[in-house]
Amino acid sequence: MRKILLVRTDRIGDTLLTLPVVKPIKERWPDCKIDFLARTYTHPILKNVKEIGQILNYDPEGVHRGIRGHQLLATEIQQQNYEAAILFYPRFGLTFALWRAGIPRRIGTSHRWYSFLLTDRVHQSRRECLKHEVEYNLDLLEPLIQDLPSEIPQFRLAIPEKTKRELQEIFTANDILGKYIVVHPGNGDSAPNLTLDQYRTLIQQISLSGIRVVLTGVNSEKEYNQLLKSEFTTNNISDLTGKLNLEQMIALLSEASGLITTSTGPAHIASAVGTPVATFYCPAIPHTPDRWGPLENLERVITPKLTNSHCQMKQCPHGTQGCLATCLQDDQINQALNYLL
């Protein structure tokens, strides 16, 4: 039986954009066992992907810290007897561990100083953002599968019945009935964001339509979301910030009429459960939706109307927050609502 290890150890959204590679592998080798090396916070996603067997945990701040920790990781990987490993997020420590584990085929990109530790080096540089992240990930299958499908494989996340029941209990506890649109204002400062006033405009328009607004976010975003909600007297806004685990968040998005957010993990989660997503993206490299947009909702991505069609974030005249805060027009805010209402 073939046994392949997929390695992606960064953010939730990045991990989701790697998962479409599973389908071509299974189509080529239906009996292939596919395992995944990932960070703990992505495990709730991976454990509900039926094509993935074992999830190996990567803990670079703990047991896998430093060279000794990566030697331990190599030992753990070696015990699994993988035929091949594909490294989607290149890092020296991970490349070293795959090499030290003696995996016969180690696949990754070619331009890093440590790429000599790989057996199959794919020539690609993602820096210019010339295509979507999923396409870059699929390119790394070429050493194993030469005739890859021309269309990007569709991917769907599963929702366990237990999580669906938990979500209904959360709905009951928070008086959430009927249709709702999720607004997720935070993005972990991973990309430019909208302003507080822009989010208030969106929430006001949704609320006026009679559809409930559900605010989401992590614990560190509670104060911001409370401030956002405090301007409204309507009881048509529910704040679930910090109240959901990742699996419950996936279930919430699967039942939603839509999601409004920026470049962040929930945009890719919603896309992966078939929910319409209206997203606001800075068009500058490296944040461009050409690479990072929610794959099945690219037609619902909104960017400021700029004269420079190939701008770079490091040269942005609008500063570190980019152009979303200053260049989005009122009709573009309304456009997002039209996509979902």
Q: Cα(339)–Cα(197) distance, rounded to whole angstroms? A: 20
Q: Cα(165)–Cα(145) distance, rounded to whole angstroms? A: 40
Residue written as tokens 């609320």? Answer: 207
Q: Cα(178)–Cα(163) distance, rounded to whole angstroms? A: 19
Distances (CA, A) of 85 to 68, 108, 115, 325: 21, 9, 14, 42
Q: In this predicted structure, what is the pLDDT of residue 317?
A: 67
Q: Cα(244)–Cα(93) distance, rounded to whole angstroms? A: 33
Q: How many helices (H) and strands (E) does the chain have?
A: 14, 12
pTM: 0.92
Q: In this predicted structure, what is the pLDDT of residue 314?
A: 66
Mean pLDDT by groups of 10 residues along the chain of 341 residues: 94 95 95 97 94 97 97 98 97 98 97 96 91 96 90 90 97 94 90 89 91 95 94 91 97 97 95 95 88 93 75 67 74 84 81
Q: In this predicted structure, what is the pLDDT of residue 298?
A: 92
Contacts of 203-208 with C-beta under 8 Å, sequence gap 24+, read 203/228, 203/232, 203/237, 204/232, 205/333, 205/334, 205/337, 206/181, 206/260, 206/337, 206/341, 207/232, 207/234, 207/236, 207/237
Q: In this predicted structure, what is the pLDDT of residue 173?
A: 96
Q: In this predicted structure, what is the pLDDT of residue 337?
A: 85
- The SS3 call for residue 245 is coil
